[in-house]
Amino acid sequence: MVMIQISTPHPRIPVSVLALGIFFSLFSSHIARAQQLELSGIYQGEDLYVVNEVGDDGVGFCCYEVRVNGMVTTDEVNSHAFEIDLDALDLEIGRNIIVQLAHRQGCRPRILNMDAMRPEANFNLQSIIVDDKGKLAWKVSNEAGALPYSVQQYKWGRWVEVDRVYGIGMEEMYIYSTQVRHIPGLNRYRVVQTDLDGGRVESRETSFIREAEAVTFAYERKSQELRFSEMTHFEVIDAYGTTVVRGENNIIDLRLVPKGTYFLNYGNQNAEFKKR
């Protein structure tokens, strides 16, 4: 005779509670097996293309859900390859986006065109002006992403960055401004935007002539300081072409600089001096 014993739940624990516990256990197990690939970038008007292999267990595809900025998309992910239709989300060009791909453990979906989310150097310059007080302002539109503007002044025979202003990446018209320091004589300014791929956009120049005495300097051996006749941008370069000191001031402290011959760029001039 075969005895069959049927176990019943503990009388103090309702069956519904046990069933709920089993559900959460299974749910937790599912979460443990799930992983997420997260990407962030700038919307450039292009969709993303995903290679979606079959999972390690051979059942179902690797990626099973896509979210953009927290919202689940309606993209058909049950395929070896699919498209994330960003255009369907009515995103503005230049907007920051976060793309999340939920996928099974042991596999990983691949984005074929990651560069589509990298901001590109792009802006339409409407105007650029500088006044006698050194306020430089430029009006732009159609920025493709939040990239910095390098504010450059022509001196010492080349374009030198004197400031950096971070762009916000707007299609609409926007005005940026900063404060620059005029050197005696002709001052030429421009702004340049460079992206991670080396793409580059330069503005046209604006200029201002400052009628003033040329900046002079003197080296004080006792205090080991260079003193200028007024505040100025400067560079101190050693015999090997390495910039050892750079900044904007009317005094350069050279106590930590080794003895030797140095080249000095300041104002709109070049000079050579020896630290003894």
The total domain count for the chain is 3
Measured between alpha carbons, how far is 231 from 181 in angstroms, rounded to an integer?
9
Number of Cβ within 10 Å of residue 89's Cβ equals: 15
Do 43 and 104 lie in a common domain?
yes
Residue 200 located in a structural domain = yes
Domain span at 56: 33-117
3-class SS of residue 30: helix
- pLDDT for 162-211, tens place per residue? 999 999 888 889 999 999 999 999 999 999 999 877 889 999 999 999 99
User: What region, left, alpha or beta, does residue 221 occupy, with left being phi > 0 and alpha being psi -120 to 50 degrees?
Assistant: alpha
- pLDDT for 119-169, tens place per residue? 888 899 999 999 999 999 999 998 877 889 999 999 999 999 999 999 988
CATH number for the domain harbouring residue 203: 2.60.40.10
To the question of pTM greater than 0.85 for the whole model, the response is no
